Amino acid sequence: MLVLDSSHYENRKLENLVENRTVHTLKNAELNIFETHQKASQVLLRFNQAVLASMIKGKKIMHLNGRPSFGFFPGESVILPSNELMSIDFPEATTLNPTQCLALALSEEKLQEAVDLLNNKGTKQNGLEWSVLDYNYHFTNDVAINQILQRLIFIFTENHPSKDIFSDFLIQELVIRILQTETKAMYLDKSETDANNNRFTFIIKYIRDNLTNELTIEQLSKKVHMSESNFYRTFKHETGTSPNEFIIEERLKVAENLLRNPRISIKEAYLSAGFNSFSYFHRIFKKKKHLSPSAFKESAI
């Protein structure tokens, strides 16, 4: 999860109890830290640039145009277009437990640079070019995105003569990773409704249906009539993760759901998810969830 270090509290001025705003501005981006110290509802907010909003602490209820209202929690982000009017509720904010959120305003130029870089490395496997982010896309930060955001908080708040350069590289990586996360989410969604839409929706459905079987790059690439190297490279280019990493992610999802069931043992959970070794499952689970399987199971029951 994201955290604000002591320098933020030392330098910010607390002038409002609802959406108190601390602004850090660089050449191509602006970082806003919002803090709310009391319950509030229907608070309106708008930016004149595209924005990545990411929760740091507490809970919000977001009301956006064109989509149902949703809870917004730490570790989650949403991409918003310029001039999008947000209506926000703060159901749990208090003085001792304020709601905190960052809003990273991005220039269209920086967004397009990241898109162009991706297209220079290769279009999507269906021949379509990468395009600017699908706005109002709500997602959970993965480890890499969370680390980039934490690093950006540090860079925006430090006093360094090269901070504009540092931030430009990080923002470019951030946008690319979000684009790949969005594409992976789209493939996952379509694999449930239209698996024959393209090669990757087909192979993702195949992986999810065969998690307890041995799955190799050779086998998967043959299923979609691609060479092993092209399949591996293209899959990672579009989703931001390798086929092997994706298989592990899906097996962990299954194991996590099973561990929530008090009637299912840890052994049953990891075997049903496709893991053959407890030691390997334990190591991977703890690395990804920061809890051992047994500790997770105890906390989930």
Q: What is the pLDDT of residues 222-244, one digit of tens each?
A: 999 999 999 999 999 999 999 99
The CATH classification number of 194-301 equals 1.10.10.60
Q: How far is residue 294 from each of residues 213, 220, 272, 286, 289, measured CA to CA in Å?
A: 25, 33, 16, 10, 12
Residue type, position 301, single letter: I
Confidence of residue 258 (pLDDT cuts 50, 70, 90): very high
The answer for residues whose C-beta is within 8 angstroms of residue 42's C-beta and 6 or more apart is 63, 87, 88, 89
Query: What is the distance between the alpha carbons of residues 5 and 125, in angstroms, rounded to a whole number?
Result: 42
* Topology classification of domain 6-182: Jelly Rolls (2.60.120)
The per-residue pLDDT for range 180-207, each reduced to its tens digit, is 999 999 999 999 888 887 899 999 999 9
Distance CA 53, CA 118 (A): 23
- Indicate if 194-301 has the same CATH topology as 6-182: no
pLDDT digit string, tens, across residues 113-139: 999 998 998 878 667 888 887 788 999
**Where in the chain are the domains?**
6-182, 194-301
Entry pTM = 0.88
Which of 212, 78, 94 lies closest to 133 in space, CA to CA?
A: 78
Cβ of 283: how many Cβ atoms within 10 Å?
Answer: 12
